[in-house]
């Protein structure tokens, strides 16, 4: 079965060997305060800076999920309330979680702007030009959910103070770990707010990570697998070039080769189209039929999500997917 599901998604095949390594070499049994484990955390953080080109003064911590990051932003980095200009299901969910912790106030009192860079539910993205515009217009902190784009495309880190992603999308890893990146300004804000009421208060997280430790027993296997995958992948500029080229090819494919089919790209505005998740629209009947037909050919298409659950299917354009697999899917679509 080849999978184009946009999360959990295809993992790099090498992950199987890395997992065996982690068990055989006793890495999963290391005490998380031991030197051996701290070395792995330190090296993984170093590799993230190097391979993803994260500025050296931005801090990196590991938590369990992007959903946890939504809560961390609300509890530890939001003084009054946050602002959520969203366009899809994940942005909406983030707003709902945040407002349970910090209820909404009037627009001009919001002190954190929360942006979903890549809206996995409908295949839209906030490109770096738009994010730069937000940066110019908004003086407070900017937090970015980059769950389905981090490690897939180049991000301009300087345009936000907090960035996070769970690893089951573009990192090509199993779920259960998230990367949280935060700027010196975000840390300063956290210190001003001084929130320490939670196990995952960012001040505790920061204190622990400055010693390459974690407040609680972390997902050691996940961290090790992340380290091994980062050692293996090329720098982000390289990966990003390939992702964007493949995205253009996917959109062209639907507009040209699938012109006579019952399917069209969901998003018409070129500037909004995601590089990493292609959402394709059709009638409920057609969408259900093509997913079933694909399954028979051992191809897993991504279901629709939220409002688009039954009238779209999604194709992940994540780095772990090979050209050959894309070729197989295109052949299936052409002959469908």
Ligand X SMILES: *Cc1c(COP(=O)(O)O)cnc(C)c1O
Is 14 within 8 Å of 228 (Cβ atoms)? yes
The count of C-alpha atoms lying within 13 angstroms of the C-alpha of 305, restricted to the half-sphere facing its C-beta, is: 23
- Only one of the segments 63-71, 133-141, 188-196, 211-219 lies at the binding site for ligand X (rule: CB under 6 A); that segment is 63-71
Which x/- pattern over 152-181 shows residues binding ligand X (rule: CB under 6 A)? --------------x--------x--x---
Rounded CA gap, 276 and 122, in Å?
A: 11
**CB of 313 or CB of 333, closer to ligand X:** 313
Told to check if 229 binds ligand X by CB under 6 A, we report: no
Rounded CA gap, 317 and 251, in Å?
A: 11
Q: What's the closest the beta carbon of residue 117 comes to ligand X, in angstroms?
A: 8
**CB of 216 or CB of 257, closer to ligand X:** 216
**CB of 120 or CB of 208, closer to ligand X:** 120
Q: What's the closest the beta carbon of residue 178 comes to ligand X, in angstroms?
A: 6
Rounded CA gap, 256 and 32, in Å?
A: 53
**CB of 141 or CB of 150, closer to ligand X:** 150
Name 125's bridge partners.
118
**CB of 174 or CB of 215, closer to ligand X:** 174
- Only one of the segments 41-49, 62-70, 187-195, 197-205 lies at the binding site for ligand X (rule: CB under 6 A); that segment is 62-70
**CB of 8 or CB of 104, closer to ligand X:** 8
The answer for residues whose C-beta is within 8 angstroms of residue 195's C-beta and 6 or more apart is: 75, 76, 201, 202, 203
Q: What's the closest the beta carbon of residue 150 comes to ligand X, in angstroms?
A: 10
DSSP 181: E
**CB of 258 or CB of 316, closer to ligand X:** 316
Told to check if 278 binds ligand X by CB under 6 A, we report: no
Q: What is the CA radius of gyration of the chain?
A: 20
**CB of 30 or CB of 131, closer to ligand X:** 131
Told to check if 65 binds ligand X by CB under 6 A, we report: yes
- Binders of ligand X among residues 74 to 93 (CB under 6 A) are 90
Is 304 within 8 Å of 310 (Cβ atoms)? yes
Q: What's the closest the beta carbon of residue 119 comes to ligand X, in angstroms?
A: 6
Q: What angle do CA 171, 174, 175 make, to 5 degrees?
A: 95
DSSP 129: H
**Distance from the first to the final alpha carbon of the chain:** 18
308-327 b/e with 16+ CB inside 10 Å = b? beebbbbbbbbbbbeeeebe
**CB of 146 or CB of 233, closer to ligand X:** 146
Is 163 within 8 Å of 157 (Cβ atoms)? yes
How many residues lie near ligand X (CB under 6 A)? 13
Token representation of residue 129: 């030009």
- Which listed residue (7, 152, 220, 304) binds ligand X by CB under 6 A? 7
Which x/- pattern over 112-151 shows residues binding ligand X (rule: CB under 6 A)? ----x---x------------------------x-xx---
- Classified as helix, coil or strand, 272 is helix
Told to check if 66 binds ligand X by CB under 6 A, we report: yes
* Cα 314 → chain centroid: 16
Told to check if 187 binds ligand X by CB under 6 A, we report: no
Residues that bind ligand X (CB under 6 A): 7, 65-67, 90, 116, 120, 145, 147-148, 166, 175, 178
């Amino acid at each position: 079965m080849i999978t184009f599901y946009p999360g959990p998604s295809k993992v790099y095949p090498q992950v199987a060997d890395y997992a065996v390594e982690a068990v055989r070499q006793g890495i999963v049994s290391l005490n998380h305060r031991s030197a051996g484990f701290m070395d792995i955390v330190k090296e993984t953080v170093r590799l993230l800076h190097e391979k993803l080109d994260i500025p050296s003064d931005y801090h990196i911590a590991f938590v369990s999920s992007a959903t946890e990051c939504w809560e961390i932003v609300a509890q530890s980095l939001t003084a009054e309330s946050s602002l959520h200009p969203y366009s899809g299901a994940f942005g909406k969910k983030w707003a709902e979680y945040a407002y349970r912790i910090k209820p909404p106030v009037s627009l001009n009192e919001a002190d954190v702007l929360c942006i979903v860079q890549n809206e996995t539910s409908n295949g839209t993205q906030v490109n770096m030009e738009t994010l730069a515009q937000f940066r110019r217009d908004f003086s407070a902190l900017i937090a970015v959910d980059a769950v389905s784009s981090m490690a897939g495309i180049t991000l301009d880190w300087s345009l936000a103070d907090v960035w996070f992603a769970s690893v089951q999308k573009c990192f090509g890893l199993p779920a259960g770990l998230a990367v949280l990146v935060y700027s010196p300004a975000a840390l300063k804000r956290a210190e001003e707010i001084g929130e320490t009421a939670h196990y995952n208060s960012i001040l505790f997280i920061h204190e622990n990570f400055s010693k390459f430790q974690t407040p609680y027993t972390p997902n050691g296997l996940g961290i090790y697998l992340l380290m091994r995958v980062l050692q293996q992948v090329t720098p982000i500029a390289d990966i990003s070039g390939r992702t964007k080229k493949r995205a253009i090819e996917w959109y062209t494919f639907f507009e040209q080769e699938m012109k006579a089919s019952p399917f069209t790209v969901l998003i018409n505005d070129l500037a909004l189209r995601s590089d990493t998740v292609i959402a394709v629209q059709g009638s409920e009947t057609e969408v259900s039929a093509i997913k079933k037909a694909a399954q028979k050919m051992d191809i897993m298409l991504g279901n629709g999500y939220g409002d688009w659950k039954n009238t779209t299917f999604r194709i992940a354009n994540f780095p772990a997917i090979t050209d050959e697999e894309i070729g197989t899917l295109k052949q299936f679509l052409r002959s469908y």
